Structure 1
Amino acid sequence: MARARESLIDLDATSYYHCINRCIRRSYLCGDDKYSGNNFDHRRGWLVERIKLLATIFSIDIAAYAILSNHYHLVLKVNRDEALACSDDEVIARWYQLYHGCVLIDRYLAGEVLDEACLLRISEVVSKWRARLYDISWFMRNLNEFIARKANLEDNCTGRFWEGRFKSQALLDETAVLSCMMYVDLNPIRAKMADSLQSSDFTSIQERIKQYKSFQKQQIKLNEDVTVLPQPNSLLPFGKNKDKDSIPFTLFDYLELAEFSGKLILPNKRGSIDSNRPALLKILDIESDSWINTIKHFRRQYANFAGSKTSLIKCAHAHHHSWYKGCA
């Protein structure tokens, strides 16, 4: 049975969420349409550009993304504390990048002297906008509606472009976050759209690798603290320490695990598979067989909540349910 969105997004349980949406039409969201002969690869650029713009407006960071031919994946991290710390003027400035606002706010911005009732109403409006700045539903609405309108205009048609609002999975612990990010980043390889991480176009892993390779070329010698590396400004950075404003793994460890996982998915890929488990699998005590099964079938293993057995039970009880589908 379908659940209300408010029951699926629980920021007290986790700030990480996996969001997916699929195109409903016969023609592809991106790629070649065999019926019309048109190529829609440029629409993937629309999505990436819009995602990054929204990340600068909303208090929601992009941990991972992958844009495929007829659907896309996002791993989002909600930064509620940032939104709550914003001043009223900053909230208004952010919201006005997307909407026209309202007449009363316009009068306030123009410096007009307003009475107490007007100021109270402004405070109510700003509070509503502030809450929306860390609301995944509003983030996804602004993404999907923009792409749908632009695609309809290009196709000279009207009607639905997406099959629904979006699907989401709450990532309840570090292992779930790591597994889901890897599942998203390896999507083109798993779908046989690419044979390497570097050739996986329109993915966050490709963007991170390009930044890393560029840094390597520019540096004759790395600093002693090799984890302090430039990372894409548009993506949530990796951090060695468990900083709430970064992904709690190092970039080196994640890239090592991604390369290892890619070879497991494509056994014929050039290069041997190291018999030693990557550092992250050792730290999180994950066996290689269990890991490969998870990154191949992450969506099937879990429903709206993903995590260890303990995490799933705890979250289910907090929501007054007996259990949530999933396996450790």
Structure 2
Amino acid sequence: MPTTPTRAAERNDAGPARDRRAGLLYGLGAYGLWGLLPLYFVTIGIASPLEIVSNRVVWSLLFCALLLTATRSWPQLAVLLRDRGSMLRLSVAAVLIAVNWLTYTYAVLNGHAVEASLGYFINPLVSTALGVLILKERLNRVQWTAMGFGLLAVLVLTFAYGSLPVIALTLAFSFGLYGFVKNRVGRTAGAVTTLSVETAVLALPAAGYMAWILSRDEATVLSSGPTHFWLMAASGIITAVPLLLFGAAARRLPLSTIGTLQYLAPVLQFILALTLLNEEMPVERWIGFGLVWVAIILLTVDMMRRPGIRRRADASAAASARARESEAATAPPH
């Protein structure tokens, strides 16, 4: 029996719908794991932040080698290694992500998890500012209003903390610049290959530091029992898996959805800081965070509104083109 048009249309719509559902699950998984990361650092808190980050680099590189083998991505890595421009950008990205990892680990282990979550709330504002300063992008009224709320929030939090929120700003700018640099690498380089290059760039100093503290009997990775060793070794998986989930989500979801999902991570970090890590939240900080959240809402609404505006503009342009074609077809010859 021939397939009816309705059933065919339903089948055609089912594929994208499944992709969107899968993408949403992948995105929730990625940002959920990043949001729960403080729990992992607390379990290995007997190690210093520098030892944790060094182990994270070394074990991530080993895990990436396994992933490259499993996905047969060594040829793509070889192509990337021959691209001098991409290698330079990924080397800069490696330094930026190392600064980000080290700052975040220090913050969680030293009672600054709330401020760390603030950094990732501020990050979209920093990315917008980088677009203006570096790419000379123009902001609309809503975006300028959001930036104003963000600046006011930093001023309020500076008063609340008694100094600039250095940890939050370091996290926001290091990750904002990291995303900017990675964006210049292009879409042809996958998450596994770029992460492999970044960890390879950091591997030598990380391994050197580990060898130095091992020689001084200051390393915890081999001296604090098998549970601690395997938790440290798991850092490779904990680093790579959310990135892979994020890559899978980004291929299936519109940018506006990804932009909204990204706030799940700092929200979870903020909740963990208040409930499990028992960090204080005076009234002034609530005001500062509230201003940041207003800025985020404005940016999110603007980001979700733009695709609709573009679609309406495209539809209007197409309608105008069809009208002109119709007029040309019916007009008498000259």
What band does the TM-score fall into relative to the shorter chain?
under 0.3
TM-score scaled by structure 1?
Answer: 0.27
Larger fraction in strand:
1
Q: Which has the higher contact order (CA 8 A, sep 6+)?
A: 2
TM-score scaled by structure 2?
Answer: 0.27
Larger fraction in helix:
2
Larger Rg: 2
